[in-house]
Amino acid sequence: MNIWLIPALPLLGAFILIVAGSGLPRRVATIIGSGSVGLAALVTLIVGYNFISTGATSVDFIAWQWIDVADFSPAIAYHLDALSLVFIFVITFVGFLIHVYSAEFMAEDEGCTRFFAYLNLFVCSMLTLVLADNLVLLYLGWEGVGLCSYLLIGFWYTDEKNGYAARKAFIVTRVGDTALAIGLFMLFQNFNTLNIQEIATQATQQWTVGSETAMIISLLLLGGAVGKSAQLPLQTWLPDAMAGPSPVSALIHAATMVTAGVYLIARTHVIFEMAPGALLIVGIIGAVTLTIAGFTALTQHDLKRVLAYSTISQIGYMFLALGVSAWSAAIFHFMIHAFFKALLFLAAGAVIMALHHEHDMYKMGGLRKKLPAIYWTFLIGASSLAALPLVTGGFYSKDQILWLSLAGENGNIWFFLFALLGAFITSIYTFRMLFLTFFGEEKTHVGHAPGRGMTIPLLVLAGLSTLGGFIELPHSFGHFTIFSNFLSPVLPSVAVQEDFENIEWIVQLVAAGVALSGVYVAYVFYIVKPGLSEELKMSAADLHKFFFNGWGFDALYDKLFVRPFVFISNINKKDIADKLYDGLVMLANWFNRILAYTQSGVLRWYIMGIVIGGILLLTLGLIKS
């Protein structure tokens, strides 16, 4: 199997775009960018077909020996199994649709070629991350997505705010990356290897459940996952990352960066299983994060910021599932979430472009008839996000998490209540977003409707958002479990507590009722009596402001870290080390001025210089002889 082609094709596309630069016509640049990722998706299909038809549980491919120092010898090697296959399917196919959409969205942008080069590098880095057979190569992909997110968030770099958002994302995620790097050092110290499969084997042989070392390493890995996946307490970078173009938001939120943390924990689940305390913390982080992000999304005006907080919340559901050892449920929600979140971001981008770059939902409205294709696809994505029962993919993926957060072997009533509260809030803010944007009176004139290049990816994603959920049905709906069966050789199944075995349908009824109740609340507040929301906001202005500002995390970090750092930097600005560099600069400037004198344009000085040089050379020759 030509696994190596899957990350190599987007990399080749990026290389051509970078080398050719702005010399390429924009149409050619979009074809190279989209085509290379489309070919990677095609190769993924072929590789996936071969993988399933041969009945293999894993396939390894070693490209070359990367490092070989003493006992440390990681290779550029790929490991394909059911988990990595699900991820590369989502990354290449959703990535390809985003590329196709971008061809029209970025058609008039001067940096079109640069945009596709960054986008291809982003896809390549994420593919490297999920296919790596060792943690060194995984870390290379991990840092690659961090670098590409910085480049793409700050893509429109002439606006100072975009540059700030890019730097913020880069710096905040470095906190988690540092924890991850320390975790990798500890893993090598314990096992003398960073090969993921070897670590999984040795961990069960060397450690016992509850091992202190396993606990420390799990928490360090969790630190990395929390940073990349924008979970509590490192969630603050993601809302500001909306500064990038809408296709970038779709790619970051759906198929690449924020899902890296979920993948890392799932891939190293053996280590986490040896540390039940760390698993509990993963679940708590997920439960608290999904609630906090949900309340924050409820108060936002910017269409893309609502979706950003929604992503934080939905990743929180995945963390909750990982925390209760519902591994396949977390990955199932990752896949369905990738479909509907990419759909929602791309649809939001189409709306924003049609309304002359207006982001404020309160300045939209009445778009249902003006942009019917966008409305219907957005409605399908919103229904899946709100997990409307029976007909949406989001219902089946979220229902599993709700059920196992209560009935799973590591589940409890508190996890279930948090998940249920999150589902209710999600339903409200999702349909608040829909009603404000597409219903009511038109407040901003529609410029031009998106063309087929932007509409077709939306239609495909709408189909996947709906039909994707039917590949894994609960026990009470026919017990069709093709997805979890496929993942079972890699991720263990979760046991259900005996007391809960017969009440799954009750949990499903409650979840369905909660989702529909949220829709009704949003309908009353934003369609029937639109003044109610304003009255509620005025009556609890301080609380609304608190939620609107993301529970004050930015202000807190500003006081705790940013201002002290700036203060100390100002004190230390005359550091002796800086004098050395200042001296080097002054010396270089002095030599520059001296050399500049020799370029006077006066012929006699040039002749004099040649004569003096000749005399010096002859003198040196005589001295040496």
**In this structure, what are the phi and psi dihedrals at residue 481, rounded to the nearest 5 degrees?**
-125, 50
Evaluate if residue 265 carries a pLDDT over 90. Answer: yes
What contacts 47, CB < 8 A, 6 or more positions away?
1, 2, 3, 6, 80, 85
Q: State the average pLDDT over residues 348-366.
A: 92
State residue 512's pLDDT score: 94
3-state secondary structure at position 533: helix
What contacts 519, CB < 8 A, 6 or more positions away?
386, 388, 427, 428, 431
Quote the CA–CA distance of 319 and 313 in Å, as a whole number.
Answer: 10
3-state secondary structure at position 64: strand
Q: State the average pLDDT over residues 273-279.
A: 95
Q: State the average pLDDT over residues 141-166.
A: 93
Evaluate if residue 21 carries a pLDDT over 80. Answer: no
Confidence (pTM):
0.91
Three-class HEC string of 141-204:
HHHHHHHHHHHHHCCCCCCHHHHHHHHHHHHHHHHHHHHHHHHHHHHHHHHCCCEHHHHHHHHH
C-alpha to C-alpha distances, 449 to 344, 362, 365, nearest whole angstrom: 17, 20, 15
**In this structure, what are the phi and psi dihedrals at residue 235, rounded to the nearest 5 degrees?**
-85, -5
For the chain, what is the mean pLDDT? 92
State residue 104's pLDDT score: 93
Q: State the average pLDDT over residues 112-116.
A: 93
3-state secondary structure at position 535: helix
State residue 1's pLDDT score: 65
Q: State the average pLDDT over residues 565-588.
A: 87
Q: State the average pLDDT over residues 552-579.
A: 89
User: Structure tokens of 551?
Assistant: 């529970």
Closest CA to 406 of 321, 512, 470: 321
**In this structure, what are the phi and psi dihedrals at residue 510, rounded to the nearest 5 degrees?**
-65, -45
* Neighbour-count burial of 336, counting CB atoms closer than 10 A to its CB (0-12 exposed, 13-18 middle, 19+ buried): buried
Closest CA to 37 of 124, 109, 101, 106: 124
Percent of the chain with pLDDT over 90: 77
**Pairing mode, if any, of strands 75-81 and 58-65?**
antiparallel
Q: Please, what sign has the CA dihedral across residues 218, 219, 224, 226?
A: positive
User: Structure tokens of 618?
Assistant: 């002859």
3-state secondary structure at position 408: strand
pLDDT tens digit sequence for 386-437: 999 999 999 999 999 999 999 998 999 999 999 999 999 999 999 999 999 9
State residue 623's pLDDT score: 83
Map tokens 């190769």 to a residue.
43
Residue 312 contacts residue 238 (beta carbons within 8 Å): yes
C-alpha to C-alpha distances, 456 to 97, 104, 159, 373, 459, nearest whole angstrom: 9, 11, 31, 10, 5
Evaluate if residue 105 carries a pLDDT over 80. Answer: yes
* 532 vs 598, higher pLDDT: 532
Q: State the average pLDDT over residues 326-344.
A: 95
pLDDT tens digit sequence for 485-502: 999 999 999 888 888 878
Residue 184 contacts residue 176 (beta carbons within 8 Å): no
What contacts 240, CB < 8 A, 6 or more positions away?
164, 165, 168, 169
pLDDT tens digit sequence for 516-564: 999 999 999 999 998 898 898 999 999 999 999 999 999 999 999 999 9
Map tokens 């009750």 to a residue.
506
Question: Among 326-335, 518-527, 602-611, which stretch is predicted with the lowest mean pLDDT?
Answer: 602-611
Residue 149 contacts residue 168 (beta carbons within 8 Å): no
Evaluate if residue 235 carries a pLDDT over 80. Answer: yes
What contacts 201, CB < 8 A, 6 or more positions away?
none
* 572 vs 213, higher pLDDT: 213
Percent of the chain with pLDDT over 70: 100
In 238-269, which positions are buried (b, 16+ CB within 10 angstroms) versus exposed (e)?
bbbbbbbbbbbbbbbbbbbbbbbbbbbbbbbb
Map tokens 């550029």 to a residue.
76
User: Structure tokens of 160?
Assistant: 């100072």
